[in-house]
Chains A and B, each alone.
Chain A
C-alpha cells in the first residue's frame, strides 16, 4: 500500500503539479514550435513520452550500477584492480547524452522495422527529440534522486516519474495546440503574432497550473500515509513555489522504508 501510494503521488506530482513545461520550463522549443495543430501536438507528445520512458530505464540502469558512488559494477571492476570504490557521476552528462541519442536511434529502427504505420505518424519528430531538454531533464532528475541517500529511488519510481512527466508534457502541448487553433480566428496585434502570443497564453496556462500546488500534501492525507510522512511534506509546503524541486524529495521519503 505504501509503495502504491508513493507511485500515485509521484505520478500526479510529475504530470500535473510540477508539470515539465509549465513549471520547470523544459521542452519549450517543441512547445512553441509544434503546437499549431492538435494532432501534431499529440504525435509529438506521445513520441516524447515513449522515448522518455526508454531513456529513463537505461539511465537508471547506468546510474545505479555504474555511475553512483560505490555502485556494484564499478566497485567490482575496481576491486579487480585492487582499488576502492569510485564516484563516476562526473561522467553522467556525457553518458546521458549517449543514452538519449542511442535510445532515439533504437526506437526509430524498431519502429521502421516492425511498426511502419506508427513510424510514419511520428515522422519528423523522432530525430528532433534527441535535443529535447525534457528528456535530459528527466535523466538528471533520476540522477539526483538515485544518488541522494534520502530518496534512493528504485526503478519503479524512476519509470513512473518519467512516463507521467511525458504525459504532463503531452497534456500541456495538446491544451496549447487547442488554444492556438482557436487563436487563428482572432485579431491579434501584428507584433505579438507567433511566439509572442504563444508565450503569453503559456503564462496564463502556467497560472492555472499553479493552482494545483499543495494538492500533493492533501493527497498524502487522503491516501492515509502515516503521520510522519505528512509532517515531512508540510515543511516544503509552506513555500511551495520557491523551491519546487525539494517537494518530491521530501514527499517520497517513505520509498526507502517501503522496500
Chain B
C-alpha cells in the first residue's frame, strides 16, 4: 500500500476542492472551455473524462512496478488512448447526436493534462485503492469545475438549463456572445477570480480563528 503518500481518503478529498483540477491546478483547459456552452455537453464530457481517468489510474497503478522511467509518459498516453477509444465508440453507439456535437474533443481527452498528471503524481507511486480514490475525487472536482462554467454560460447565453428554458426570452434577452468562444474565456477568467477571492477570504478567517 501507500508507502509515504497521502491516504486514499485524503486523496479523495483533495481532488474535490483543495486541488480542484480546473481552478487550482489549471489543467485540462480544452474541454473546460470548448464544451461548456450547455450543461448536457458538459456532463457527457465529464462522464467520459471520469471513465478514462478512473480506468487509466487503476491500470497505471497495477503496472507501476514495471514502468521504466524514460518510457513512462508514452505508456501513460497509450493506456489513456485505449480507454478513450472505448469511450468514444460507446458514445458514438449510444449517444450519436452528442458524440457529433462533442466532435474532436472526445479524442482530445488523450492529451488532457489532468489524466497524465494524475497518473504521474498518484497512480505511478501508490496502490490501487489510493489511485482509485484519487481518480474519483479528481473526476468530481473536474465535474464541478465544468458544471460551474456551463451553468453560467447556458443561463446567460440561452436562458436554459439542460436544454429546458427557465427564463423566457421576454425577460432575458439572449447574450449570444456567451455561447461563443469569447464568453468561455471571460466566464472562466471571472470565475477563477471569484474562486481565488473566496479561498483567500476563508484562509484569512482560519488564520484569525487560530
B63 contacts chain A at the CB level, 8 A cutoff: no
Q: Are A25 and B78 in contact (CB under 8 A)?
A: no
A227 contacts chain B at the CB level, 8 A cutoff: no
Given contacts A101-B74, A141-B104, A241-B180, contact A26 B30 (CB under 8 A): yes
Main secondary structure of the interface of A (DSSP, over half): helix
B189 contact from A22, A90, A141, A192, Cβ within 8 A: A192
Q: Are A199 and B113 in contact (CB under 8 A)?
A: no
User: Complex: how many Å from CA A141 to CA B108?
Assistant: 11
Q: Are A101 and B186 in contact (CB under 8 A)?
A: no
Q: Could you tell me which residues of chain A, from 89 to 145, have a CB within 8 Å of some CB in chain B?
A: 90-91, 93-94, 97-98, 101, 130-133, 136-137, 140-141, 144
Q: Are A210 and B181 in contact (CB under 8 A)?
A: yes
User: Complex: how many Å from CA A167 to CA B141?
Assistant: 34
Least Cβ–Cβ distance between B96 and chain A, in angstroms = 16
User: Complex: how many Å from CA A132 to CA B30?
Assistant: 10
A29 contacts chain B at the CB level, 8 A cutoff: yes
Q: Are B81 and A137 in contact (CB under 8 A)?
A: no
Least Cβ–Cβ distance between B120 and chain A, in angstroms = 11
B107 contact from A91, A140, A190, Cβ within 8 A: A140
Scoring B27, B78, B88 by chain A CB atoms within 10 A of each residue's CB, the highest score goes to B78
Q: Which residues of chain B come closer than 8 Å to A210, judged between CB atoms?
A: 180-182
Q: Are A133 and B26 in contact (CB under 8 A)?
A: no
B85 contact from A90, A199, A241, Cβ within 8 A: A90
Least Cβ–Cβ distance between A215 and chain B, in angstroms = 16
Given contacts A133-B108, A191-B200, contact A206 B30 (CB under 8 A): no
User: Complex: how many Å from CA A23 to CA B33?
Assistant: 10
A219 contacts chain B at the CB level, 8 A cutoff: no
Q: Which residues of chain A come closer than 8 Å to B88, judged between CB atoms?
A: 93
A203 contact from B29, B110, B186, Cβ within 8 A: B186
Encode A157-174 as 1/0 by CB contact (under 8 A) with B: 000000000000000000
User: Complex: how many Å from CA A22 to CA B82?
Assistant: 29
A136 contact from B107, B182, B186, B194, Cβ within 8 A: B107
Q: Are A25 and B34 in contact (CB under 8 A)?
A: yes
Given contacts A130-B73, A140-B104, A210-B181, contact A196 B192 (CB under 8 A): yes
Q: Are A207 and B177 in contact (CB under 8 A)?
A: yes
B44 contacts chain A at the CB level, 8 A cutoff: no
Q: Are A136 and B108 in contact (CB under 8 A)?
A: yes
Q: Could you tell me which residues of chain B, from 179 to 200, have a CB within 8 Å of some CB in chain A?
A: 179-186, 188-190, 192-194, 196-197, 200
Interface residues on A, range: 35 or more
Q: Which residues of chain B come closer than 8 Å to A44, judged between CB atoms?
A: none
Given contacts A195-B192, A198-B189, contact A133 B30 (CB under 8 A): yes
A204 contacts chain B at the CB level, 8 A cutoff: yes
User: Complex: how many Å from CA A189 to CA B190?
Assistant: 11
A199 contact from B74, B77, B108, B185, Cβ within 8 A: B185
A77 contacts chain B at the CB level, 8 A cutoff: no
User: Complex: how many Å from CA A141 to CA B107?
Assistant: 11
Q: Are A25 and B113 in contact (CB under 8 A)?
A: no
User: Complex: how many Å from CA A192 to CA B190?
Assistant: 8
Q: Are B188 and A190 in contact (CB under 8 A)?
A: no
Q: Could you tell me which residues of chain A, from 162 to 218, have a CB within 8 Å of some CB in chain B?
A: 189-192, 195-200, 202-204, 206-207, 210
Q: Which residues of chain A come closer than 8 Å to B84, judged between CB atoms?
A: 93
B204 contacts chain A at the CB level, 8 A cutoff: no
Q: Which residues of chain A come closer than 8 Å to B183, judged between CB atoms?
A: 203
Please, which residue of chain A has its CB at the minimum distance from the CB of B196? A191
B9 contacts chain A at the CB level, 8 A cutoff: no
User: Complex: how many Å from CA A50 to CA B138?
Assistant: 34
Given contacts A94-B78, A191-B193, A206-B181, contact A200 B186 (CB under 8 A): yes
Q: Could you tell me which residues of chain B, from 154 to 210, have a CB within 8 Å of some CB in chain A?
A: 176-177, 179-186, 188-190, 192-194, 196-197, 200
**Chain A contacts to B: CB under 8 angstroms:** 22-26, 28-29, 32, 90-91, 93-94, 97-98, 101, 130-133, 136-137, 140-141, 144, 189-192, 195-200, 202-204, 206-207, 210, 241, 245
